[in-house]
């Protein structure tokens, strides 16, 4: 059994600690956030911290590292109030990962990594054409996490696009049919295989498999 | 192409909207949070909102629904200051899902669903014996998300346990070797297949695959 206590965690080399701690919370979502500066330069950045916040109203959130270095994504979101969220699929993992390189502020990561800006009326912020599921979002708020200076950014979901034929009748979207990937640690990627859905849990009965994997 | 705009999202039947919006943020972590009330009753609840907050200090967070109904997990965390996080693996999906049933406050979900309380010194809060990766955490803070009344709870990671032989030399943990599952939507489960890790991205070079899938 590997065991790390608080002291051992604190004394680890920082890169090792970052890989370990980033791994153990479990699988992560894997999305590209698209923005546009007020002078028209497109920006694209990979995030593995996008989470569901609520359905009514429809909102998501993501964690941004401390603002001690340039954060084009956040600056652009504050300027325009808008961003897109684009799922990373298995055919675009390398290009998506490459958006994490520190390009200059005047460089569009779309061009640099070879992904395609897509504008869909009425949204003037770019989606990623190659992405199978994309959302247009509006900035709502952000929360400063005092413990380490990170921000939790909250956005409302105002536009959703994905191909026909990937939903269950009750609204559930089969991400595996879109080849959406999951994140592992800082730099790992995985392709999930669907196992099934389980019925609403009640104390008096055991869960029933609603729909098997294919 | 399926398209939902803000108005269409708002007008969806609430269950359909919940399934849709919960699906589209991408894959989610899947963990059981173990707590214990001040009078000694163990509690266990599944969460798909646990996220990495930071490595130094090592912290994680999770989103809790509004406190308009009984939230044993949060009450216990506030009472004792401690909780455990236990990854859900493919052999324990049904039991883990069943913890979401509304059992009475005096019922231990461990007993009700058939998972085993495990106490590891010096922590007096139960881990899940069946889980392959588990953490002992201390409550640090919580943030009230004004937009919908949810809470983001922040904990520090003070104890980490997992089997030998699942790490890369640089600290990365191979969740696929533990059969850790990912969450989909509200009630879906998936088993990810490892694709690989990519090298640190730099503007002047393309990412290199560090380690292939097996």
Confidence band for B205, pLDDT divided at 50, 70 and 90: confident
Mean pLDDT for B131-146 is 98
State pLDDT tens for residues A107-128: 999 999 999 999 999 999 999 9
* Chain B: closest CA distance from residue A136 (Å): 9
A33 touches A85 (CB < 8 A):
yes
Q: What is residue A26's DSSP assignment? A: -
What are the CA-CA distances from residue B128 to residues B42, B78, B94, B206 (Å)?
11, 20, 14, 42
Taken in order B128, B129, B133, B137, is the CA torsion positive or negative? positive
B84-123 residues touching A, CB cutoff 8 A: 85, 87, 90, 93-94, 97-104, 107, 112
- Please write the tens of the pLDDT for every residue from B49-105: 999 999 999 999 999 988 766 788 999 999 999 999 999 999 999 999 999 999 998
pLDDT band at B211 (very low <50, low <70, confident <90, very high): low
Average pLDDT on B185-200 reads: 96
B200 pLDDT above the threshold of 80: yes
State whether residue A11 is helix, strand or coil. Answer: helix
Residues B73/B62, Cβ–Cβ less than 8 Å: no
In the Cβ-directed half-sphere of B19, how many Cα atoms lie within 13 Å?
19
Assess A82–B contact: CB distance below 8 Å, yes or no: no
Spatial separation of the C-alpha atoms in residues A100 and B185, rounded to whole Å: 27
- DSSP 8-state secondary structure symbol assigned to residue A17: H
Q: Which helix (H) or strand (E) holds A15?
A: helix A14-24
In the stretch 154-183 of chain A, residues with CB closer than 8 A to chain B read 154, 156-164, 167-168, 170-176, 180-182
What pLDDT does B70 receive? 73
Distance from CA of A104 to the nearest CA of B (A): 9
Residue B170: left (phi > 0), alpha (psi -120 to 50), or beta? alpha
Q: What is the mean pLDDT of chain B?
A: 94
pLDDT on residue B214: 46
Average of pLDDT values for B18-47? Answer: 96
A63's enclosing H/E stretch is: strand A58-64
pLDDT tens profile B149-182:
999 999 999 999 999 999 999 999 999 999 999 9
In angstroms, rounded to a whole number, what is the distance separating the alpha carbons of residues A33 and A64?
A: 12
Type and span of the H or E element at A153: strand A150-162
What distances in angstroms separate CA A33 from CA A125, A163, B10, B37, one per listed residue? 10, 20, 23, 41
Residue A211 pLDDT level (bands cut at 50, 70, 90): low
pLDDT of amino acid A114 = 96
Tokens standing for A18?
Answer: 């970052």
The whole-number average pLDDT for the span B13-38 is: 97
Q: How confident is the model at residue B206 (pLDDT cuts 50, 70, 90)?
A: confident
Among all chains, which residue has been given the structure tokens 């879906």?
Answer: B188
Q: Which of A67-71, B15-19, B101-105 has the lowest mean pLDDT?
A: A67-71
> Per mean pLDDT, which range of A18-27, A70-79, A201-210 is the poorest?
A201-210
Between A205 and B79, whose confidence is greater?
B79
């Amino acid at each position: 059994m590997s065991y790390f206590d608080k002291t051992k965690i604190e004394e680890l080399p920082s890169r090792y600690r970052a890989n370990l701690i980033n791994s153990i919370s479990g699988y992560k979502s894997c999305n590209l956030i698209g923005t546009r500066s007020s002078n028209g330069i497109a920006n694209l950045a990979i995030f593995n911290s996008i989470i569901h916040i609520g359905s009514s109203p429809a909102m998501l959130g993501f964690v941004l590292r401390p603002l001690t270095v340039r954060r084009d994504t956040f600056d652009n979101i504050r300027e325009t109030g808008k961003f897109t969220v684009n799922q990373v699929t298995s055919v675009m993992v390398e290009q998506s990962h490459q958006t994490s390189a520190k390009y200059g502020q005047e460089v569009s990561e779309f061009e640099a990594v070879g992904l395609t800006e897509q504008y869909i009326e009425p949204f003037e912020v770019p989606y990623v054409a190659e992405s199978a599921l994309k959302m247009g979002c509006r900035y709502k708020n952000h929360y400063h996490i005092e413990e380490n200076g990170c921000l939790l950014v909250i956005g409302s979901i105002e536009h959703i696009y994905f191909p026909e034929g990937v939903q269950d009748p009750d609204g559930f979207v089969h991400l595996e049919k879109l080849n959406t990937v999951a994140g592992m640690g800082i730099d790992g990627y995985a392709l999930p295989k669907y196992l099934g859905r389980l019925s609403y849990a009640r104390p008096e009965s055991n869960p029933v498999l609603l729909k098997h994997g294919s």
